[in-house]
Amino acid sequence: MHFSFKLPLPRGYSLADAIHFHGRDKEAVSEVVSETGLRKGILLDGLPAVFDIQVSKTEAVCTVAVDGTVTDGMQTPAVEIVRGLLGLRLDPRGFSTFVAADPVFGPLTKKQKSLRIVQSASVFEALTWAVMGQQINVSFAVTLRRTFIQLAGQRHSSGLWCYPSAADAARLPVEELLSRQYSRSKAETVLRLATLVASGELDIVESPTNTVESICAALLAVKGIGPWTVNYALLRGYGQPDCSLHGDVAVRSAIGKLWGLETRPDILAAEELLKRYSPHRTMAAAHLWASLSAPKGF
């Protein structure tokens, strides 16, 4: 069964960032990108679904094919998922205005004026992807992600895999990951996170009674999760506008290059520099990532 909906696009919208982010896995086990859109396997209310998103100059048309019964409650979360996948949750104009007179970011935002923050389909996906990417390059992290999806995910009837739910991931034996290039610490952190979320001990759903600040504090208490992972999850999962990615190597490399420093700044120096761009540090990080020729960003 399936359902469809449309989303209006802001003037000048570019699909380039979404194509880059969702097209990292060249084997395309979970996502397939094209010049005009993308198809992605996603669990919707626990059912395998494929989101087929086609983009024109003025709107995005999404058709969701569900392996199961479509319910009235599916449309609202589906719309929010697509807004995140296309980078529509954060309006970049606020940052552009904020840094208009800045000698570094002013010219950079004009050069990269279509840049948007693209997000994962879920907070759990963003969190686990961040854990997988700790201390390794993007290419290897993509390999680990593909393995995780194929070991614990569900496959849609179309053939695309859906990213695992926390419950499905929690049932995965650690040995399965260890035998597929995961370090023990990385495997244990991913499964620890999945188990805590699946059991309800760790609530990662933002609500009036469970603020992002509370979620961050709870995440930092989990062994294997540090400030970089939390800030990345805030960016890719929650779409928070003021995430400081001062611990990211690429961000610090870009700072060194753009500010004409002899060496890449350390974490504390990068943190201090980025403070001046609060409350827009998420967009600052995105522009710093994009300023590097390769990789474009994690």
Give the span between the Cα atoms of 123 and 233, in whole angstroms.
7
Give the span between the Cα atoms of 239 and 244, in whole angstroms.
13
Q: How many Cα atoms are found within 13 Å in the side-chain-facing hemisphere of 246?
A: 18
SS3 226: coil
Q: Going along 154-228, which residue ranges are E strands?
A: 154-155, 161-162
DSSP 3-54: EEEEEE--TT--SHHHHHHHT--TT-SSEEEETTEEEEEEEETTEEEEEEEE
- Cβ pair 22, 118 in contact under 8 A: yes
Q: What is the 8-class DSSP label of residue 182?
A: -
SS3 298: coil
Q: What's the one-letter identity of residue 245?
A: L
Residue with tokens 């929650």: 238
Residues contacting 231, CB < 8 A, separation 6+ = 243, 244, 245, 247
Q: Going along the chain, which residue ranges are E strands?
A: 2-8, 31-34, 37-44, 47-55, 59-66, 154-155, 161-162
- Cβ pair 47, 157 in contact under 8 A: no
Distance of CA 62 to the CA centre of its chain: 20
- Write down the pLDDT at residue 298: 52
pLDDT tens over the chain, length 298 residues: 999 999 999 998 999 989 999 999 999 999 999 999 999 999 999 999 999 999 999 999 999 999 999 999 999 999 999 999 999 999 999 999 999 999 999 999 998 888 899 999 999 999 999 999 988 888 999 999 999 999 999 999 999 999 999 999 999 999 999 999 999 999 999 999 999 999 999 999 999 999 989 999 999 999 999 988 998 888 899 888 998 889 888 899 999 999 999 999 999 999 999 999 999 999 999 899 889 864 445 5
Give the span between the Cα atoms of 15 and 34, in whole angstroms.
10
Residue with tokens 């709107």: 59
User: What's this model's pTM, rounded to 2 decimal places?
Assistant: 0.90
- Write down the pLDDT at residue 114: 83
- Write down the pLDDT at residue 295: 44
